[in-house]
Amino acid sequence: MRSLRQLRLTAVAAVSMLVVTVAPPAAAGASAGPSRQAGYHRIGYFTQWGIYGRAFPVKKLDTSGAASRLTHVNYAFGNISKDGRCFVDGGPGEGDAWADYQRPVPAEESVDGVADAWGEPLNGNFGQLAKLKARHPGLKVMLSLGGWSWSTYFSDAARTEASRKAFVASCIDLYLRGNLPVLDGGSGGPGAGAGVFDGFDLDWEWPNWPGEPGNVVRAEDRENFTRLLAEFRRQLDAFGRQARKHYALTAFLPANPAAMDAGYEGRKIFRYLDFATVQGYDFHGSWDAVTNQQSALRVPAGAPDNPDFSAQVAIDGWLNRGAPRGKLVLGIPYYGRGWTGVSGGGDGLFQPAAGPAPATHEAGSEDFKQLKTLPGRGYTVHRDLRAGHAWLFDGTTLWTYDDPVVVFQKMLYIRRAGLAGAMIWSLDGDDDNAILTRTVAAGLATR
């Protein structure tokens, strides 16, 4: 495997001639501002379910070197009940309290090498995150609420002043005060989870816009999202004064300009947010009949859709709506999207396809750690350096993904655009040496 220094030099050589075109023009009505030279946020999502099929325990964040290169870990996800409360429930489709804080983690998976005993107040992922923070005192851990599957009742929770107050209070009680429900065997209890989490990430997908079928959607979601942020900020500040600590508040925001306008009050929401992460992926996938890019920095020449999505389109969309550059974090994928049955020849891009490519966990989606093994096994790496994306093609199957060269190019864009940093979905897609996270850290290193 090439060293990180070699990867960095490769990336620099690949993009140095294009650095002017990579940097976006100043958004209409927004000043470019100085580039950030220090203090970049580096946020990675840790998935609750990654401990199963992907065999990705919290310990891997430490042994791979990822934890020392991140500023925040977002734990995905916390659920919202039908009556608008944060809750933990072991019922099918509702939660996984076993993974969260009940599972006795064996010594070989434990951050400090010490096995959990059955029934300890704080086992599972929460207990391991506490151990990870002890090893990395500067690391912040955020509880991410919602996500694609658990945004169903966000609208209900945000609907009225009373519902907002009750919702936020329940989240603080559960995750910050750490008053976890007592489970079989005894895990949980008053204060059991105190100190694990340093704030909340609101991952409402999406206010006043369709998400997963069955989500509650209302026209007033747009204003209520702002009001919900204000209530979180008010209660977090009050709780923080007691604890003599600042509790962070962040949000995950869409790449689609139509969803931006439908669900968010532009600059108003940033009054309450420490920063916001912007979706920089899933622009295209096997739901499309034609192969395309899923996470390009800029819209490629010859793209079949007009207008189309890209990372720069997403960031400029938020800048045009009043977002401050210094509070925008660009999301990058640690997975690729793929098609099979690709016809039309050439390099496979923008060609008809029969359907999703076979994959390890989900057809049409594959982790970077698997995709990185394909070059030399019948697949050729193709790049569009101006647009900032890469894809693999073997004549039949195409995967669009971010490799270290693309990731580094995006870090240069973040620096030149004066953004706040990079976000990763999700950490379990990286290899055992955290090569992508190391690339993020190298690209956003202070000077």
β-pair partners for 421: 41, 329
List, in sequence order, the alpha helices (H) in 159-256: 161-171, 221-243
Of 162, 185, 157, 190, the closest CA to residue 78 belongs to 157
List, in sequence order, the alpha helices (H) in 29-123: 59-63, 97
Helix (H) or strand (E) holding 365: strand 365-367
Residues classed as catalytic: 205
The DSSP line for 120-157 is: -SS-HHHHHHHHHHHHSTT-EEEEEEEETTS-TTHHHH
| 105 three-class SS | coil
Q: Would you say 294 and 283 are in contact if contact means Cβ atoms under 8 Å apart?
A: yes
**How far does Cα 344 stand from its chain's mean position?**
34
**For 113, left (φ over 0), alpha (ψ -120 to 50), or beta?**
left
* Side-chain half-sphere CA neighbours of 324 within 13 A: 13
β-pair partners for 384: 389
